[in-house]
């Protein structure tokens, strides 16, 4: 824990330079017990966007949050605040229809979703805006989009409940 905190502090000047072109529009100070998706759900920031704006700050399993540290939630002009928390049995067509958008936009705002929409999980926060609003992943980086180890797929085995 201590070494992780030190590493995060040492990494800060580097990261600050890296993202200096971006203006942060909103922030959140981590509390004990937070996980990335709980922060996302409570603040209407998508799982993907939180990862992108914190590339190099929050690791891909989101196990290095530092209590008391302020995290950026969105960048000016690239901040999706229209979000939806994935529920059991959700699938992309349903989420898009409920939001009044098409799947093209849903995928562009949530590029971590796989082609068949089989990797969404309960508690994942998706941007459901009607236009592309999230930032692209910075070149050469992989934003944290690992599915949490404790996550439950929205549709286990991609088996629609009413087709059993």
Ligand X SMILES: *[C@@H]1O[C@H](CO)[C@@H](O)[C@H](O)[C@H]1NC(C)=O
Positions that interact with ligand X (CB under 6 A) = 102, 104-105, 130
Compare residues 60 and 108 and give the one whose CB is closer to ligand X: 108
Report angle CA 37, 41, 38 to the nearest 5 degrees: 40
| Other residues' Cβ atoms within 10 Å of the Cβ of residue 156 | 11
* Other beta carbons within 10 Å of 110: 26
Residue nearest ligand X, CB atom distance: 102
Minimal distance, residue 102 CB to ligand X, in Å:
4
Toward ligand X, which CB reaches closer, 112 or 133? 133
Q: Which two tokens stand for residue 163?
A: 């087709």
Structure tokens given for 13: 């000047």
Q: Which phi and psi angles does 67 have, rounded to 5°?
A: -55, 130
**Which DSSP symbol is given to 83?**
E
- Residue with Cβ nearer ligand X (130 or 156): 130
CA distances from 103 to 17, 98, 100, 131 (A): 35, 11, 10, 11
Q: How far is the CB of 86 from ligand X (least distance, A)?
A: 20
Q: Are 144 and 112 in contact (CB under 8 A)?
A: no
Nearest residue (CB) to ligand X, 78 versus 146 = 78
Q: How far is the CB of 130 from ligand X (least distance, A)?
A: 6
Shorter beta-carbon distance to ligand X: residue 61 or 102? 102
We find the least distance from the C-beta atom of residue 91 to ligand X, in angstroms, to be 18
């Amino acid at each position: 824990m201590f070494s992780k905190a030190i590493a995060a502090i040492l990494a800060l000047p580097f990261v600050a330079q890296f993202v200096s072109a971006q203006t942060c529009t909103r922030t959140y100070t981590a509390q004990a017990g937070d996980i990335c998706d709980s922060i996302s759900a409570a603040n209407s920031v998508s799982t993907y966007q939180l990862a992108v704006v914190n590339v190099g700050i929050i690791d891909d399993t989101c196990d290095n949050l530092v209590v008391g540290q302020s995290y950026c939630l969105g960048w000016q002009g690239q901040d999706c605040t229209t979000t939806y928390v994935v529920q059991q049995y959700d699938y992309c067509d349903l989420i898009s229809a409920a939001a009044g958008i098409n799947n093209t936009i849903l995928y562009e705002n949530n590029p971590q979703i796989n082609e068949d929409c089989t990797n969404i999980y309960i508690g994942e926060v998706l941007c459901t805006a009607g236009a592309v609003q999230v930032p692209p992943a910075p070149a050469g980086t992989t934003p944290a989009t690992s599915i949490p180890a404790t996550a439950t797929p929205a549709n286990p085995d991609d088996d629609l409940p009413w087709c059993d």
